[in-house]
């Protein structure tokens, strides 16, 4: 059991928390492996409708534990990068909405982990950064692609090359985060967003939207459109689409079953 992460689920929402506040939740190899296990489990379950990922203490996560980098050679560095990318992919492709609740620093691999989440709620003190070049390295868990995709290559390169942090207000303007709240309200706001998804949106439609966006971002534009049409058509074999349209016409709240 890895005590540097905690996991629980209740009422269709899973809560994953990095539990290393004395090290500002710096990621160890063991924590990455546990994250991979958790999100493999999330992917296999249909009763979970949302996940909230947070960090204990002041900071969300300051990235890779630097002590683990000292002994790496070129091959070891490649394996570490590939594993970090796999873990972030396991978050992004798990099929369930993952909400990052970000307070304090989300730096390096911590920023990359937050970027792999589908939605982000930030505290007013949140700071996103990819400062690896100051250590002689570079982002390696998908940050070069995901941050560029989220805010544009110019702003992403300013973060990587000059170490320019993205504060909460700028992140909101750029669309990097969905909501900004006071630190004391961070988890409550993430829960409110999760509850909105759980209580108002059809489970299969949510999964289809996630697949269209996460898989579609890795395809050409035309391929993405074909995927969208395929996923849209599949929903018409489900009971939920009938329930949703019927409830709308009858002016009542739908009761989705996820089938």
- As annotated, the active-site residues are 112, 132
Q: Which of 93, 89, 146, 92 is nearest to 117 (CA)?
A: 92
CB contact at 8 A, 135 and 72: no
Rounded CA separation 92/236 (Å): 25
The counts of H helices and E strands in the chain are 10, 9
Q: Would you call 150 helix, strand, or coil by DSSP? A: helix
CA distance 124 to 254: 36
Q: Are 103 and 186 a contacting pair, CB within 8 Å?
A: yes
Q: 246, 243, 216: which is closest to 92 by C-alpha?
A: 216
Q: Is 9 within 8 Å of 35 (Cβ atoms)?
A: no
């Amino acid at each position: 059991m890895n005590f540097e992460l905690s996991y629980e689920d209740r009422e269709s929402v899973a809560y994953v928390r990095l539990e290393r506040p004395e090290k500002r939740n710096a990621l160890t190899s063991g924590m990455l492996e546990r994250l991979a296990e958790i999100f493999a489990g999330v992917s296999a379950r249909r009763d979970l409708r949302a996940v909230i990922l947070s960090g204990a203490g002041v900071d969300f996560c300051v990235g890779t534990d630097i002590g683990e980098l000292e002994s790496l050679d070129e091959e070891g560095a490649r394996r570490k990068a590939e594993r970090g990318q796999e873990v972030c992919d396991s978050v992004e492709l798990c099929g369930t909405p993952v909400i990052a609740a970000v307070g304090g620093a989300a730096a390096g691999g911590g920023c990359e982990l937050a970027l792999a989440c589908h939605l982000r709620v930030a505290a007013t003190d949140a700071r996103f950064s990819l400062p690896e070049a100051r250590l002689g390295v570079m982002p390696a868990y998908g940050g070069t692609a995901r941050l560029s995709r989220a805010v544009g290559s110019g702003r992403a390169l300013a973060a990587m090359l000059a170490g320019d942090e993205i504060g909460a207000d700028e992140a909101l303007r750029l669309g990097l985060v969905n909501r900004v709240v006071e630190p004391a309200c961070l988890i409550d706001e993430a829960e409110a967003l999760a509850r909105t998804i759980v209580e108002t949106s059809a489970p299969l439609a949510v999964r289809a939207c996630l697949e269209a966006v996460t898989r579609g971002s890795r395809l050409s534009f035309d391929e993405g459109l074909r995927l969208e049409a395929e996923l849209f058509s599949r929903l018409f074999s489900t009971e939920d689409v009938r329930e949703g349209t019927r409830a709308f016409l009858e002016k009542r709240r739908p009761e989705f079953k996820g089938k």
